[in-house]
Amino acid sequence: MVFRAQPDVPIFQGGQLKAAVGVAKAERDQHFFIYQSTVLNALEDVQNAIVSLNKSRARAASLAESVSGYRLAAKYSRDLLAAGESDLFDVLDADRSLYSAQEQLIQANADIATNYVSLNKALGGGWSGPIDVTVPRVEDGFVGPHLAMRKTGR
């Protein structure tokens, strides 16, 4: 009977097993830190999206109150013009202020929608690439004044 030494017997590996265990532990720790960093970044993205959404909502609420006040001021200005107590420039100035506030409110509502999308993305809503919000997807082709249509009882 001939005795053959097998190279994979632990006695003859001279510390290779301990080194392999050390490498495996280091790789485990490295993967854990990558995982922890990824989770913390995701939580930061969610928190930032929630803060932005809340700010946009508060701004829109404030602007809605402003629009209401400007609308009332424009009404009073028209009433004063009809009574002969004011001139057309005051009415035009009140209308300009109203339209400016309405435009800001529209932008604030668009910001709310954008922040909802950002929050959905941060929560894993299925987007894989960056979202370009600098270019609108839909553009209003009518560039003239937009007047609200009033319903009449006719």
**pLDDT of 53-97, one tens digit each?**
999 999 999 999 999 999 999 999 999 999 989 899 999 999 999
- Rg (the chain; Cα; Å): 33
Task: For residues 84 and 127, give the distance between their C-alpha atoms in angstroms, rounded to a whole number.
Answer: 59
Per the model's pLDDT, the better-predicted residue between 90 and 11 turns out to be: 90
pLDDT band at 154 (very low <50, low <70, confident <90, very high): very low
Q: Is the pLDDT of residue 130 over 80?
A: no
3-state DSSP assignment of residue 126: coil
Instruction: State the first-to-last Cα distance of the chain, in angstroms, to the nearest integer.
Output: 116
Phi, psi angles (nearest 5°) of residue 5: -85, 125
Give the pLDDT mean for 30-57.
92
* Residue in the block written with tokens 């700010």: 55
Task: For residues 59 and 102, give the distance between their C-alpha atoms in angstroms, rounded to a whole number.
Answer: 13
Per DSSP, helices labelled H in 84-139 are: 88-122
Single pTM value for the model = 0.61
